[in-house]
């Protein structure tokens, strides 16, 4: 990408020459009246931001996998297909982000955004539907509520990633 100012390639040494005078000036613009600067390509998302997003997404996938283990030991009905879909969607987003192709960064962000949003909605609905008859602490709503909260945080991570891409 070129800079936001109007620029015209004029040199053979990979530079872009910007007008030395405003466009409204009547002075004829020749090569001598231009300043040459190196072309800077703007990356979609900074590599450090992509690295941080993938780290958090992997931690999120581990938490979703841990949810499978907790559900197997509790009295709650198993939600194995949903949890596996969440882990698979999150790991797919991580794989796309780490593919090294800048054109696929947006696809990876949207994949993670959709996965986290769907799991947030699912676990929030599940938390609301569970009847809390137990007097024990933390109760049956704790795990789905915590997963919903973590899904919200992961949703925010992918939203910030998409915002930094734009």
Share of the chain above pLDDT 70, in %: 66
Mean of pLDDT over the chain: 75
76 with 140: CB under 8 angstroms? yes
pLDDT digits over 59-76, tens only?
998 988 888 777 766 666
pLDDT of residue 74: 66
Label each residue of 25-79 as H, E or C: CCCCCCHHHEEEEECCCCCCCCHHHHHHHHHHHHHHHHHHHHHHHHHHHCCCCCC
Give yes or no for a contact between 92 and 111, defined as CB atoms under 8 angstroms apart.
yes
pTM for the complete prediction?
Answer: 0.64
- Residue 40 pLDDT level (bands cut at 50, 70, 90): low
In a 13 Å sphere around the CA of 99, the CA atoms on its Cβ side amount to 15
Q: What is the pLDDT of residues 120-138, one digit of tens each?
A: 999 899 888 887 776 777 7
Each residue's pLDDT tens digit, 88-127 = 999 999 999 888 787 888 888 999 999 999 999 998 998 8
pLDDT at residue 98 in the model:
86
């Amino acid at each position: 990408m070129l800079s936001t100012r109007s620029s015209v390639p004029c040199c053979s040494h990979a530079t872009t020459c910007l007008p030395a005078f405003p466009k409204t000036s009547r002075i004829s613009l020749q090569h001598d009246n231009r300043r040459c600067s190196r072309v800077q390509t703007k990356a979609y998302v900074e590599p450090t931001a992509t690295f941080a997003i993938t780290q958090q997404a992997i931690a999120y996938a581990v938490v979703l996998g841990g949810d499978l283990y907790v559900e197997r030991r509790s009295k709650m009905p198993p939600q194995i297909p949903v949890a596996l879909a969440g882990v698979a969607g999150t790991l797919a987003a991580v794989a796309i982000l780490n593919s090294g192709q800048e054109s696929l960064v947006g696809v990876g962000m949207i994949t993670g955004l959709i996965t986290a949003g769907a799991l947030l909605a699912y676990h929030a609905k599940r938390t609301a539907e569970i009847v809390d008859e137990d007097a024990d602490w933390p109760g049956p709503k704790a795990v789905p509520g915590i997963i919903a909260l973590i899904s919200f945080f992961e949703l925010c991570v992918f939203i910030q990633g998409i915002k930094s891409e734009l």
